[in-house]
Amino acid sequence: MHAYFDNAATTPLDPEVLEAMLPFLTQHYGNPSSLHGPGRQVRSAIENARKTVAHLINAAPAEVSFTSGGTEADNYAAFGSIRTLKLRHAITSKLEHHAVLHPLQALEKAGDIELSYVKHDEFGQLDLEHLDELLATHTRSFVSLMHANNEIGNLNDIQAIGDLCARHDAVFHTDTVQTMGHYRHDVQALKNQFLVGSAHKFHGPKGVGFLYCRSGLQVSPLIHGGSQERNVRSGTENVYGIVGLAKALEIACRDLTAHQQHVQGLKDRFIARLQAEIDDVRFNGLSAEADKSLYTVLSVSLPPSPLNEMLLFNLDISKVAASGGSACTSGAQTGSHVLEALGCDPGRGTVRFSMSKMNTVDEVDYAVAQLAKLYKPVAA
């Protein structure tokens, strides 16, 4: 058996999505900026995809722009709004994805902004009173706080954060890469200016994402050189990727309730089996609390052991694919900035199991059994 539990890094492509994409890989090859028939046919597909995405998040089609993924969309929101609106203060947390932290830190280093970090407790819960204080003591701020943490799964109350930002006239960007397609998002209810999605997190293709930018907010583009995406993002569009993204989000929203019930059941079983099989197993952040964490992510803290150095390697040999944190830093020599910010014991091992609708109960049991084999001899 091979058990794939790294869905927070990327999900398998849904067969329905591939079917929707194939005609734009084989038959419909026109450039969407061309005025002839083949070009207009492809342009129509892009605009239909835009309408689909907009409908699913309750936005206007003109508020949706397609990008190469979540990282580009996050960068666009940060650089574009801060530079265009001449904002001098930004607020984030030390638990954010590097796609948010690195742009803001670059702007701080360049002297463009003062950067503040919202306090959090040992479980990664943000201090919204501190956020309120930061907003109150500065002029108009740019605020970037994610919906769900990609490493520990903590859910932030983006409705409450948005309400605070609106009260202080702040520009609110929320990275919803991990929750898009897994929760329903209504941008009319949220008080956010920016929201981000990436297709490969909800069974779509890699290399394509989207940015929601609230109507009336005009910001400078990151990429110059053409008039594509209404001058928001230059470059010939990734047509089959855009078609695949829209189809994947449509399927995810269509099947969301059944998907959530299935995956939450897998996560609950993971927690119960790990607690039964491994002594002193713990869970990072709020990962094991169903009402406070993303149902697709479980961050497991394992007992101190020499095995921890080769933990992911040994799981891979046993045909269990998992992550030690974020896949975006899996090749780095440094540890997880999220776990470090939480003050987690560096002597303990960490595995992030992330699940999707394509996983099974048998795979959960197999993964736990393989992990338990590594630790039972040490506990004996």
Q: Which of 77, 88, 83 is nearest to 141 (CA)?
A: 88
Cα angle: 223, vertex 145, 79; to 5 degrees: 25
165, 213, 253, 328: the catalytic one is 328
Q: Are strands 141-144 and 171-175 parallel, antiparallel or unpaired?
A: parallel
Helix 37-57 × helix 239-254 angle, to 10°:
30
Alpha-carbon distance values, 178 to 79, 154, 183, 216, 295 (Å): 22, 11, 9, 27, 10
Q: Identify whether the C-beta of residue 93 lies closer than 8 Å to the C-beta of residue 115.
A: no
Q: Which of 147, 167, 142 is nearest to 157 (CA)?
A: 147
Q: Identify whether the C-beta of residue 339 lies closer than 8 Å to the C-beta of residue 284.
A: yes
Q: Which residue has the tokens 């990275």?
A: 175
Of the chain, the end-to-end C-alpha distance in Å amounts to 27
Angstrom distance (rounded) from CA 379 to CA 337: 29
Q: Can 253 be counted among the known catalytic residues?
A: no
Q: Sign of the C-alpha dihedral, residues 213, 218, 222, 226?
A: positive
H helices of 5-127, where?
15-21, 23-26, 37-57, 70-84, 98-109
DSSP run (H or E) holding 197: strand 194-198
DSSP string, 181-196: TTB---TTTS--SEEE
Which residues are the active-site residues? Answer: 328
